[in-house]
Amino acid sequence: MVRFPAGFRIENLEKHHRRGSFRSGKAKVDDWIATKALQHQRKRLSVTRVLVDDDQHLIGFYTIATAQVDVSDLPVQIGKRLPNRGVPVALLAWLGIDISCQGKGHGQRLLTQALCDCHEAGKTFAFVGVVIDCLDDQAKAFYQSFDFEELPGNPYRLLISAKLLAKLVAN
């Protein structure tokens, strides 16, 4: 479990969370949380968890879902012993931190919590790794600093294997 600073807590996204005032500096991220995250959650397409402070200000969030990737899209060392078809992955679909709170470690904490959530889910619903589609080079560098690696032929789609995830969560 990830420790958040005093006065901060992680919750599942609900209607009362003030999504419209969230500003990460990335228009696509802001639009997702403001207009789509709750709808997708209600349709059971994804789950969004939010980091809020004691005043219920939305500090950050992440969205996770399930997906499939073709085994041929995986790095050779991961895909070599898998069936030649689509295989299940956890998808870290979105992660954002409000611009007023960036640079304070909240992104790292939320990523760690998201990966812990994926690992726990993987005990019930198996997957070969966690995939993220990066919006830009800055996001890519952030995820690569946590051992995510590029998928062959798609430099902005990154993966951390379930095997590596289990090792990271164990530490």
Segments forming the whole domain that contains residue 77: 8-170
pLDDT in tens, 55-87: 889 999 999 999 999 998 888 888 888 888 899
Is 2 within a domain? no
Is 22 within a domain? yes
Is 3 within a domain? no
In total, how many domains does the chain have? Answer: 1
Q: Percent of the chain having pLDDT more than 70?
A: 99
Is 1 within a domain? no
**For the domain that residue 36 is a member of, what is the CATH number?**
3.40.630.30
Residue 10 CB-density burial (10 A; 0-12 exposed, 13-18 middle, 19+ buried): buried
Dist. CA 76–CA 132, nearest whole Å: 18
Is 152 within a domain? yes
Is 64 within a domain? yes
